[in-house]
Amino acid sequence: MQKARLIPVTGIGSDVEAEQRATSALLAVISIVRDLSIDLLSPLGASKAQKANVDAFTEVVFNHEGRKVRPDGLIRVNYGKSTWSTLVEVKTRDATLDADQLNTYWDIARSNKIDHVLSVSNEIAPVPGEHPTSGLRVRANSPVQISHLSWTAILTTAIRIKQHQGVADAEQAWILNELIRYLEHPSSGALAFDDMGPNWVHIRDDARTGTLSKRDEAVGDIASRFDQLIRYAALILGSEIGEDVTPILSKAERDNPSVRHSALIESLAQDGILVGTLRIPNTAGDFGIVADLRAQQLAASLQVNAPQDRGSRGRISWLLNQLKDAPATTAIESYAKNARTPVIASLGDARDNRDALHCWGRTGRNPFASGSCSGCQWGHSARVVGNVPVSLTRCST
């Protein structure tokens, strides 16, 4: 005996069935659970009013250039005298969006006074706000825009609303939970990002031998997938802590995503390294992630400023207090002013003897006798080698 479900996952066979059921489930829940429709649609231009009315339709037919065109859905948000609407195109499983199809829907939207075109698929845009499909005719100043939501973004938004924000209406809360349960089921066609693609093994091996070329299209593919992975990590972490976690990009990278892409390709081909940064609200600093394919290591780091009103011993004491719950095997590198070579000690040794992190702890000579000391900046990173986590903390004293 099984509990009756609002959105069943049994009987989904073909890709078409998965797409149709996912479309119907998503649009139906959006039209009922106002908290979800606000979070998903208001950034696109829809009303944020809690009492706005949301209508959703599937298989809408339009006549376009002498033929019938059928987008997967249409959403309309009404509040007072204002109306906002969007066409919806949905893909599930491994299906990818088609630029010609989206351009056609864009033409239809402009001809029929529809405000927006929204695509949904398992593709994750490497840069927030960018569309994962190349070849779209829409421009930044176009009155009708094309936006994209990954299934991961939709699922994590629903989880964040349920677990951290809450839904006041009990029936809406139950309906939202049914959508979450459905999208988390593998038969739904909403897939997690769990694969770096067919080029990963080739690129990983060539990075180890130092034979990568930035002209290799596979290098560009892995660079794009790494940015998608960073975005996926931000979405998953955000749903777990109930905050908006965002990848950090420079202004140049935000204005022109090809700048970020080219930098990743250059770094991967030359050094075998991929780098990303996440901003997590209410933390001491941005979270840096470095994937070193040559060294076969993944490092994560957080850098914070140490107190400036303390001497070198006081700064080390401050650092050890921050790491009071860290394992004793944590390795700490301590840099004296202008030094290129650090003094290295385990956290356990430093707890027993704090001079172990000073140069004179090894040489018997105190380089700080004159009282001169650079400002401290300490960061903590975790490196994983194989299946064994090795913690590494760097500081300069």
For 116-164, the pLDDT digits (tens) are 999 999 999 877 788 999 999 999 899 999 999 999 999 999 999 999 9
Is residue 377's pLDDT more than 80? Answer: no
Q: How far is CA 392 from CA 181, 287, 337, 344, in A?
A: 39, 15, 20, 10
Query: Where is pLDDT greater, at 320 or 381?
Result: 320
pLDDT band for position 365 (cuts 50, 70, 90): very low
- pLDDT at position 324 is 87
Is residue 316's pLDDT more than 90? Answer: no
Is residue 273's pLDDT more than 60? Answer: yes
pLDDT band for position 310 (cuts 50, 70, 90): confident
- pLDDT at position 1 is 63
Mean pLDDT of the chain, nearest integer = 85
pLDDT band for position 27 (cuts 50, 70, 90): very high
Q: Kindly report, residue by residue over 207-231, the tens digit of the pLDDT.
A: 999 999 999 999 999 999 999 999 9
- Of 93-107, 156-170, 336-350, the one with minimum mean pLDDT is 336-350
Question: In the predicted model, what is the mean pLDDT of residues 264-275?
Answer: 96
pLDDT band for position 378 (cuts 50, 70, 90): very low
pLDDT band for position 100 (cuts 50, 70, 90): very high
State CA 393 to chain mean position distance. Answer: 25
- pLDDT at position 370 is 27
Residues of the chain above pLDDT 90, percent: 60
- Of 11-15, 192-196, 241-245, the one with minimum mean pLDDT is 11-15
- pLDDT at position 191 is 84
Q: Kindly report, residue by residue over 276-296, the tens digit of the pLDDT.
A: 999 999 987 898 899 999 988
- pLDDT at position 224 is 92
Is residue 42's pLDDT more than 80? Answer: yes
- pLDDT at position 304 is 67
Is residue 362's pLDDT more than 70? Answer: no
**Residues 394, 379: Cα–Cα separation, whole Å:** 6
Question: In the predicted model, what is the mean pLDDT of residues 157-186?
Answer: 94
- pLDDT at position 388 is 29
